[in-house]
Amino acid sequence: MARPIAIALRKNWKVTWSSQLQRAQLIIGSILMIIISLMLPSFFNLIQKKDGTLLNDWVLAAIPPRDVSWEIFTVIWGIGLYALWRAIEKPTIYITYLWTFIFITILRVLSISFFPLEPPKGLIVLTDPLTAVFYGRSTITKDLFFSGHTSILFLVFLCLEKKWDKILALAGTIVVVCLLLVQHVHYTVDVIAAPIIIYPVFRGVKYMLS
């Protein structure tokens, strides 16, 4: 069973790599993502020192804050690993995710810079080893508008192609959105805006890559 799967995977990647366009998309996109990832810790440390606006969020005001970090990252890591497997199976999923994530990251940098916000009242700091890759060792609480965690999961939902894969990813996105509000990590507008912003970016990237 493992041998046929391995053969199919090699074939899929061989076909992708044999395309000059897709090979360039893979190489250039991966290089850009590495560069952006190396620059993000400095950016977020700078943003953390910047004064922002404290929003009056009636939804958060009605939710007693509770630490649900474990639940949040169980869903994120679970969906992320599943999406990685699907991307290994079909490299075009990885290419689409990669380039959309690049543009989303750039948009988040711009939106966080131009619309700085103070952390919501009652915020409980969300910690995870993955965040250290982008944020460094500092505690970052002002990366608010728009939500990166929501963006990642909703993008997975858009990139996956099979019906039940999409249902799983969408359900995970909704669960994480609710838990982020429970922990007061984001304002309501942060999590609502993420899918609205991401969808047209995703469609634009799909058109660009075609």
> Using CA atoms, how far apart are residues 46 and 140, in angstroms rounded to an integer?
10
pLDDT tier, 12 (very low <50, low <70, confident <90, very high otherwise): confident
The tens digit of pLDDT for each residue in 148-205 reads 999 999 999 999 999 999 999 999 999 999 999 999 999 999 999 999 999 999 999 9
The tens digit of pLDDT for each residue in 119-151 reads 999 999 987 655 555 555 567 899 999 999 999
3-state percent breakdown (helix, strand, coil) of the chain, nearest 5: 75, 0, 25
Residues 6+ away with beta carbon under 8 Å from 146? 108, 111, 190, 191, 193, 194, 197
Neighbours of 26 (CB within 10 A): 19
User: Helix, strand or coil for residue 145?
Assistant: coil
The tens digit of pLDDT for each residue in 74-88 reads 999 999 999 999 998
Where exactly are the structural domains of the chain? 2-209
Closest CA to 104 of 208, 202, 188, 207: 202
> Using CA atoms, how far apart are residues 116 and 127, in angstroms rounded to an integer?
21
> Using CA atoms, how far apart are residues 184 and 66, in angstroms rounded to an integer?
8
User: At which residue do the structure tokens 């474990």 appear?
Assistant: 70
Q: Which helix (H) or strand (E) holds 84?
A: helix 69-89
